[in-house]
Structure 1
Amino acid sequence: MDHPTTQGSLRDGFLADCKRIHREWDARTKSLDTDGLISLYAQDAILETPLVPAIFEGRSGVLRGHREIRPFFEEGARRRPNELVRWYRNDNWFTDGKRVLIWEYPRQAPDGDQIELMEVMEIEHGLIQHHRIYWGWFGVNQLTQNAVRKPTMTT
């Protein structure tokens, strides 16, 4: 059985990791720092988002490891600026105190609507192990409109 002091120290370390990742993920994303962003992920991390098949046709929404995740971040950086991606959020984040870190980029931003996202990350050993990005109705609507607008091939 773990000693309560050990459990408290582990929890404090996890909370410090959450605070750091919350701060650095946002800053590195905004500054288009792909190397810094990928360094927050474990080598075998998993990233899930509906944006993957929107960017890389024929792919599922799941990327595994740095080798698959890095090109996604690089392409995302190339496609900015985007008027609906403002990265507005507040400093609120939530955790279960053991493994999960969550925060939101809300639809309503001070300068208008933005793509709304919920970031859900499982943290292990100070790194993102599993990252799921959930889109709200406004963002899903944008993805759908872009998919409908894609030209179709005719023979």
Structure 2
Amino acid sequence: SPSMARVGGSGGGRSPRPEPRIIGSDLSSPDNVFKCCDTNDVGLLDVHEAKFAFNAFGLFPDLEYLQDWMGDGDGLSLAGFKELLRKKMASAPTSMRRPRAIPFARRGVSLRQLNSLQETFVNSGWISAKCQVFNAEHQAEIKEGKVWALGDNLYALDRFV
């Protein structure tokens, strides 16, 4: 099995990597969605951040509607977001409702995980070695079209991890 490199922290003379902001995984929680969408971490959602936050709850207002909802302030605080969400969940028309959308900050975690998998298994050569052994052992079936040859990519991880 491949060795897993330690992520974050300090050691070996390297400067410490800043710890990532911890965001809860429950996307039905307005608190967690607010934290995900507050991209500059100031405690207020601007109109664009608020749009993504409302999308996470299945509300898809146009920016003009959203700006009207928010008023002329500096942005929505957590309390303001929760109150506005409560009101709009009860009153928004069906034309503004769609399936919930995952906030981009949560998608970034997935991308970070994919990058980690790429580094650990693909770039290290581990999956390439596994695929070479598999392809050599199944050469006849691959030629006959009964089995697909495996390449050193993330798709091959299903078989080995």
Same fold by TM-score greater than 0.5 = no
Larger helix proportion, structure 1 or 2? 2
Larger radius of gyration between Structure 1 and Structure 2: 2
Give the structure-2-normalised TM-score: 0.31
Give the structure-1-normalised TM-score: 0.32
